[in-house]
Amino acid sequence: MGAGASDLAGMELGKVARAGLGELPDLCAAEVLLHLDAPDICRLARLNLAFRGAAAADFVWEAKLPKNYSYLLGFVAGAEEGERSDMGKKDIYARLAKPVPFDDGKREFWLEKSTGSISMALSSKALVITGIDDRRYWVQMPTTESRFHSVAFLQQIWWFEVVGEVDFCFPAGTYSLYFRLHLGKSSTRFGRRICSSERIHGWDRKPVRFQFSTSDGQHALSQCYLDEPGSWILYHVGDFVASNSEQPIKLKFSLAQIDCTHTKGGLCVDSVLIYPKGFEPERVIRAQK
């Protein structure tokens, strides 16, 4: 917005025109925007016509998008080739900031709005759970407390094992992998959250074991006692580094307690979460190595 109508806006007749930060030329305004996060840029877009233009600039959003945004966009249903090439970079960012389901809705990923990093969630249905089809052991429980609206509830079992795999091109960076678990069943009665601990048993006898490995040789092994009934806990399994956005990395992870001298039960398994390292939206428990 150089010399033009927008400079005259707000000026009193007869006063000398003194350009200020409100009248930065488009390129300068865009330079400032490079230093702001997505929510702040979207607030600026509401200021006036000139800022709205700068806030829509492709190069501002390209700098914020993960390097492999084309690959990520490929998972968006309905985004055909032609449509994709028409999308401005801001639209791409906005689309990826909403959860993108894949694997038949059993998994999803999304862009964290403020940082532009990718997070991913795998529902219990995307995991291989020993005995999941046997209603004596496991039942599917609908719930509002899961982003997948349903969790796997363990009534009782001797061989407790949950295994999963991911094969994905993560934007370069460091990530942490968690199992989201809850001891006890929760329900809502008269608007209040009630937790039932009736089936909880066996977790204090032996610790559960977490294992994690990647296709490029990173791995982690730890164990801990499940605890804190009544709350959703993110149990930390391990960290991994994705060094190259263009290269897929294969992750394998498991949670197990297979000591068959005792049964264990009363556990909700919601999902596996992969977050950028340091992002901990819920209570985290780190197991002992």
Partner 1 sequence: MASAGESGDGADGKGVTTITIISSDNEAFEVLEAAASMSLTIRHLIEDGCADGGIPLPNVTAGILAKVLEYCSKHVAAVAASSEAGSSSNAADAAAAPEKEEDLASFDKAFIDVEQDTLYDLLMAANYLEVKGLLDLACQKVADMIKGKTPDAIRQTFKIKNDFSPEQEEKIREENQWAFE
Choice from 73, 79, 87, 94 touching partner 1 (CB under 8 A): 94
Residue range at the interface with partner 1 (CB under 8 A); choices 43-51, 139-147, 172-180, 257-265: 43-51
Contacts of 130 (CB under 8 A, 6+ apart): 157, 159, 160, 161, 162
Cβ 188 to partner 1 shortest distance, Å: 24
Residue range at the interface with partner 1 (CB under 8 A); choices 18-26, 161-169, 182-190, 204-212: 18-26
Q: Does the footprint of partner 1 cover residue 27 (CB under 8 A)?
A: yes
Q: Does the footprint of partner 1 cover residue 10 (CB under 8 A)?
A: yes
Q: Does the footprint of partner 1 cover residue 44 (CB under 8 A)?
A: yes
Q: Does the footprint of partner 1 cover residue 24 (CB under 8 A)?
A: yes
Q: Does the footprint of partner 1 cover residue 79 (CB under 8 A)?
A: no
Cβ 8 to partner 1 shortest distance, Å: 10
Decide whether 44 or 224 has the Cβ nearer to partner 1: 44
Tell me the C-alpha distance between 69 and 197, whole Å. Answer: 44
Decide whether 24 or 220 has the Cβ nearer to partner 1: 24
Cβ 79 to partner 1 shortest distance, Å: 16
102-121 residues near partner 1, rule: CB under 8 A: 113
Decide whether 106 or 113 has the Cβ nearer to partner 1: 113
Task: Give the C-alpha distances (Å, rounded to integers) separating 196 from 120, 185, 186, 265.
Answer: 29, 5, 6, 13
Tell me the C-alpha distance between 15 and 20, whole Å. Answer: 14
Enumerate binding residues for partner 1 (CB under 8 A).
6, 9-10, 18-22, 24-25, 27-28, 31-36, 38-49, 51-52, 94, 97-98, 113
